[in-house]
A and B are shown apart, each in its own frame.
Chain A
Amino acid sequence: MTQSIAIIGAQLVDETGTREADVLIADGRIVDVGSGLTGDVTLVADGCVVAPGFVDLHAHLREPGHEEAETIETGARGAALGGYTAVIAMPNTSPTIDSAAVVRQVLELAAAANLCDVYPSAAITVGRAGEQLAPMAELVRLGVRIFTDDGAGVQDERVMRSALEYVGSLTHLSNGAPIVLAQHCEIESLSRGGLMHEGDWSSRLGIPGQPAEAEELMIMRDIALTRLTGSRVHFQHVSTAGGVAMVRAAKEAGLPVTAEVTTHHFTLDHSACASFDPVFKVHPPLRTGADIMAIKDGLADGTIDAIATDHAPHAAHAKDGTFADAPPGMLGLETAFALANTELGLPIEEIVALMSWRPARIAGIDDHHGRPIVVGEVANLVVVDPEGIWTVRGSAMASRSTNTPYEGRELRGVVRHTIYNGDLVVQEGSATR
């Protein structure tokens, strides 16, 4: 029997609403919700919020293949420090997560780390090459619920149509849980060579740009394919005003689409590239102020379902070159909550929804994550102080890499404790394992 944990004095925020209550956790589950509770460990959390643990639909944990930048263990630790109890690992590893062997390897490494649930997504196509379908049925049997070629979109319409039809035939293998194709929306023939958003800054800096339309055209196409096939599409890291508008229209038309945005796409714009510092290089690229406004509107009105990180660690030397030569991507797991809390101007209830039960539902893991805080539920919880102020330091992060674009920035919102499967994996902002 593990030690019991009481969280006292906090507001509880979940899908059922907000109320003040103490929570008692024992043997991995919530065993009491009430007042005057104490445990073997009692966490005094006055002024804090207890919420279902966060769920990141989009993290690059780099293992296998790029352990110099991140491992499942360091990535999972960073996730726990960011308040996450579940992370969907992207399949652009080396080798690609497109076979049972690699899925099993990721699951084993995640279980050994035991810091949060790491669910491997798998590639839609073998090697993410956009041609032959990955063995989806076999991978669904192992628990995969999200397929994506992230890092690239599926360019060929016929292949994408076929993938949508095929996953639509697999729900008998997932106990009825939804299986979703997640798309990195980028028409490569239009974006090729583009290192940043095509706009006034790319023109001035002489950095080749990629137009917003490269994203928008694929969103448009996949909405049409969703209509054709009836299968679900999840749009990853939507970064353009046009993309948000199309997702809104598709939802109004009743089509089964969902969408995520990343924290960097509503906090940074393309002018950051004027420093030529590759820490600001990311795909899709940082866009304009108007795009940021549209994304914030989309988050506020429910068009966007989830806040994701697109956590993309890169070894220091890889980012320590020219803008053209450095790989795209930035850290996100340990700053996501604070950025959303600082920048969005949304009530805490909305932020938690965007980071917890809505993404849990998209990932088909809402039996364990994003649950109401009631007796009997698995204890995957986070305790945050929405008013706490801290300063971002890449070197202080659990990640093996330090490529945060927010170095030195002061943010509001501190993750104090993370409870995963009933265990206190983060206590007072420090990982316990």
Chain B
Amino acid sequence: MIGGERHLLSMADLDRDDIEQLMTLTDSFAEVGERSIPKVPALRGKTIAWLFYEDSTRTRLSFETAAKRLSADTMNFNVSSSSVNKGESLRDTVETITAMGVDGIVVRHRAAGAPHRVAEWVDASVINAGDGWHQHPTQSLLDLYTAREHLGDLDGKHIAIVGDIKHSRVARSNALAFATMGAEVTLVAPKTLLPTHLEGWPVTVTHNLDEVVDDLDICYLLRMQLERQTDAVVPSLREFHTEFGLDVRRADRLGDALIMHPGPMNRGVEIAGEVADRPNAVITEQVANGVSVRMAVLFLLLGSGLDIVDGKRVAA
């Protein structure tokens, strides 16, 4: 259970204690990953279905690796070659899968709230692996874990989230996640790439990256969709890079602040190619930590509630 919930749908459902608990548990699973045989029997006999309605490489592979390290059985529902293409509804698909017997369903969907709908229909635990522009909670958790490894406690740390906030589930998730952990969050984007109404968000906003770049602990970059330049949101990717991209000059001003990105990167757009390879760019660490974090999430939601990891009893 996470935050008293059977599902993981949104970072809004987690408080600081829930997150701390997940981080601690992630430490144990990170250790499992370093073993010569990186596998524990924690979810033996449990079945997890992947329901990905949107292309995803890293998130799906990461979940799959996590499940395998926990000895869970997995069921891959390949949307592009499935009955969905024959017009089957989301609900019918979900009920078909659950009829086969699953304990967990990991959902990625282009529609905001799709995992919330699925959670209403099934007894299994539902994990949101990204829904539209809304939320991507496991991305947030792996980002928090990565940030903590380098910076420790995030209280009072200054984090900028830069780029296409409006269309980004990572931005919505992470703004909540970083703020919940006490960080000071600044959103950096032109108005065309910001949500229209930010009242009540625990963030400050600037349209000028240069104004904050000297003063950051983390510069979190978002993927810039290439089609944004054709729908009159930004004049060109070139201009976006000039105004909001992390180029070499701005990266130098960051000092040793962390550079993070949820991937996949557009080198030369939101981030200069060479900047992505600097030592303070922890993008591949994020990916590595993703597996451990997702192990922790799967274990907490699907495990027996109390289990043995690495010889220690872990309360869920």
Residues 178-211 (chain B) with a chain A CB within 8 angstroms: 195-201
Which residues on the B side are within 8 Å of A198 (C-beta)? 196-197
CB within 8 Å: A-B pair count: 71
Digitize B79-105: 1 where CB-to-A-CB distance is under 8 Å, 0 elsewhere: 000000000011100000000000000
Q: Are B196's CB and A324's CB within 8 A?
A: no
Asked whether A321 and B134 contact (CB < 8 A) given A198-B196, A203-B195, A207-B113, the answer is no
| B139, CB-defined interface residue at 8 Å | no
| A157, CB-defined interface residue at 8 Å | no
Please pick, from B109, B110, B200, the residue contacting A200 in the complex, using a CB distance under 8 A: B200
Q: Are B117's CB and A321's CB within 8 A?
A: yes
Asked whether A206 and B135 contact (CB < 8 A) given A322-B113, A323-B112, A324-B111, the answer is yes
Q: Are A205's CB and B134's CB within 8 A?
A: yes
Digitize A319-348: 1 where CB-to-B-CB distance is under 8 Å, 0 elsewhere: 011111100000000000000000000000
Q: Are A207's CB and B196's CB within 8 A?
A: no
Residues 222-242 (chain B) with a chain A CB within 8 angstroms: none
Interface residues on B, range: 20 to 34
| A202, CB-defined interface residue at 8 Å | yes
Digitize A113-145: 1 where CB-to-B-CB distance is under 8 Å, 0 elsewhere: 000000000000000000000000000000000
Q: Are B134's CB and A207's CB within 8 A?
A: yes
Which residues on the B side are within 8 Å of A320 (C-beta)? 89, 91
| A409, CB-defined interface residue at 8 Å | no
Residues 118-150 (chain B) with a chain A CB within 8 angstroms: 131-135
Which residues on the B side are within 8 Å of A322 (C-beta)? 90, 109, 111-114, 117
| B116, CB-defined interface residue at 8 Å | yes
| A199, CB-defined interface residue at 8 Å | yes
Which residues on the A side are within 8 Å of B196 (C-beta)? 198-199, 202-203, 209, 211
Please pick, from B89, B90, B112, the residue contacting A207 in the complex, using a CB distance under 8 A: B112
For the complex, give the distance between the alpha carbons of A198 and B166 in Å: 12
- Name which residue of chain A comes closest to B115, CB basis: A276
| B108, CB-defined interface residue at 8 Å | no
For the complex, give the distance between the alpha carbons of A321 and B89 in Å: 7
Q: Are B113's CB and A276's CB within 8 A?
A: yes
Which residues on the B side are within 8 Å of A433 (C-beta)? none
Which residues on the B side are within 8 Å of A211 (C-beta)? 196
Which residues on the A side are within 8 Å of B113 (C-beta)? 205, 207, 276, 322-323
Which residues on the A side are within 8 Å of B114 (C-beta)? 276, 322, 324
For the complex, give the distance between the alpha carbons of A111 and B210 in Å: 71
Q: Are A325's CB and B111's CB within 8 A?
A: yes
Digitize A186-222: 1 where CB-to-B-CB distance is under 8 Å, 0 elsewhere: 0000000000001110111111110100000000000
- Name which residue of chain B comes closest to A325, CB basis: B111
- Name which residue of chain A comes closest to B110, CB basis: A324
Q: Are B132's CB and A207's CB within 8 A?
A: yes
Which residues on the B side are within 8 Å of A205 (C-beta)? 112-113, 134
For the complex, give the distance between the alpha carbons of A384 and B91 in Å: 40
| B172, CB-defined interface residue at 8 Å | yes
- Name which residue of chain A comes closest to B116, CB basis: A276
For the complex, give the distance between the alpha carbons of A205 and B134 in Å: 6
For the complex, give the distance between the alpha carbons of A55 and B116 in Å: 39
Digitize B15-41: 1 where CB-to-A-CB distance is under 8 Å, 0 elsewhere: 000000000000000000000000000
Q: Are B111's CB and A199's CB within 8 A?
A: no
- Name which residue of chain B comes closest to A209, CB basis: B196
For the complex, give the distance between the alpha carbons of A370 and B172 in Å: 52
| B169, CB-defined interface residue at 8 Å | yes
Please pick, from A199, A207, A275, the residue contacting B197 in the complex, using a CB distance under 8 A: A199
Which residues on the B side are within 8 Å of A317 (C-beta)? 89, 91
Q: Are A203's CB and B198's CB within 8 A?
A: yes
Which residues on the B side are within 8 Å of A206 (C-beta)? 112, 131-135, 169, 172
Which residues on the B side are within 8 Å of A207 (C-beta)? 112-113, 132-134
Q: Are A200's CB and B134's CB within 8 A?
A: no
For the complex, give the distance between the alpha carbons of A204 and B201 in Å: 8
The 9 closest A-B pairs by CB, nearest first: A276-B113, A206-B133, A206-B134, A203-B195, A322-B111, A324-B111, A200-B197, A203-B197, A206-B112
Q: A199-B197, A325-B111 are in contact. List 10 more A-B contacts (CB 8 A).
A: A206-B132, A206-B133, A206-B172, A208-B133, A276-B113, A321-B91, A322-B114, A322-B117, A323-B113, A324-B111
Q: List the interface of chain A (C-beta within 8 A of B).
A: 198-200, 202-209, 211, 275-277, 317, 320-325
User: What are 18 residue pairs bridging A and B, where the CB atoms are less than 8 Å apart in the complex?
Assistant: A198-B197, A200-B199, A202-B195, A203-B195, A203-B196, A206-B112, A206-B133, A209-B196, A211-B196, A317-B89, A317-B91, A320-B89, A322-B112, A322-B113, A322-B114, A322-B117, A324-B111, A325-B90
